[in-house]
């Protein structure tokens, strides 16, 4: 006998669920079929939002002894149809803290584009921009302006100079990885 009572409860539960939209007063102007459709659509949308997304698969990259693991933010790529203007190889000078490379700003080129074109970390440009000052020497570059970048033996940018109308401005990397404007 207990099986019969539990078997009769299942259809009763389904019947109550089926007639549940009939008791919702703010849906009174709608026919019952539309009420059920709206409730079903809302439940489906909620289920779609709550469904877990697959975790992204990232390819494994070997880390050489000169690289850090995970401390640098990823660079963003910029796609465009125009080819970069051919540039002369940079002039280099050596000092005790690294090698200086000289560049000239091309028409319409930003400092971030210069770094991208020469496979330098663009995040260093953003770190320097935070301390560039009110005259904005890094943000207001013009065609033909000279920029010198110093890299250490590991290829890390540890200095940058910009020639402006009022002289050279030097940005230097600090031991914590941030930059200061020295001149």
pLDDT digits (tens, 9 = 90+) for 170-182: 888 888 888 888 7
Number of H helices, E strands in the chain: 4, 6
Same domain for 36 and 103? no
Confidence of residue 69 (pLDDT cuts 50, 70, 90): very low
Residues 113 and 167 in one domain: yes
81 inside domain: no
Q: Which residues pair with 102 in a beta bridge?
A: 91, 148
Among 20-34, 114-128, 139-153, name the one with the lowest average pLDDT. 20-34
In-domain check, residue 117: yes
Within-domain flag for 169: yes
Handedness of CA 75, 81, 85, 87 (dihedral sign): positive
- Average of per-residue pLDDT across 18-24: 75
Q: How many domains does the chain have?
A: 2
| Three-class secondary structure assignment of 63-82 | CCCCCCCCCCCCCCCCCCCC
Same domain assignment for residues 96 and 172: yes
pLDDT at residue 95 above 70? no
Residue of 165, 164, 71 lying closest to 123 (CA atoms): 71
Range of the domain at 30: 2-50
Tens of pLDDT, residue by residue over 159-169, are: 989 888 778 88
Q: Summarize pLDDT for 32-65 with one digit per residue, the tens.
A: 788 788 888 988 999 888 888 776 665 555 544 4
Give the CATH number for residue 150.
Answer: 3.10.450.350
Q: Tell whether 155 and 100 lie within a shared domain.
A: yes
Q: Is there a single domain that holds both residue 43 and residue 96?
A: no
Does residue 79 lie in a domain region?
no
User: In percent, how much of the chain has pLDDT > 90?
Assistant: 2
Residues 99 and 174 in one domain: yes
Residue 40 within any structural domain of the chain: yes
Mean pLDDT over all residues of the chain? 76
- Among 147, 143, 142, smallest CA distance to 170 is for 147
List the strands of the sheet with 157-164, edge to edge.
91-95, 98-104, 146-151, 157-164, 167-173, 179-181
């Amino acid at each position: 006998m207990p099986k019969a009572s539990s078997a009769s409860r299942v259809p009763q539960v389904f019947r109550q669920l089926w007639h549940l939209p009939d008791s919702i007063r703010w849906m009174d102007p709608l026919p019952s079929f539309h009420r059920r459709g709206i409730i079903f659509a809302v439940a489906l949308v909620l289920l779609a939002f709550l469904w877990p997304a697959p975790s992204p698969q990232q390819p494994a990259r070997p880390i050489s002894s000169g690289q850090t693991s995970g401390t640098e933010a990823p660079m963003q790529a910029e796609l465009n149809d125009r080819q970069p203007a051919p540039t002369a190889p940079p002039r280099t000078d050596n000092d005790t803290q690294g090698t200086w490379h000289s560049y000239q700003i091309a028409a319409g080129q930003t400092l971030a584009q210069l770094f991208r074109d020469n496979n330098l970390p663009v995040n260093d440009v953003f770190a320097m921009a935070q301390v560039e000052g009110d005259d904005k020497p890094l943000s207001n570059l013009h065609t033909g302006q000279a920029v010198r970048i110093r890299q250490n033996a590991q290829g890390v940018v540890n200095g940058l100079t910009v020639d402006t109308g009022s002289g050279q401005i030097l940005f230097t990397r600090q031991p914590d990885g941030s930059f200061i404007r020295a001149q």
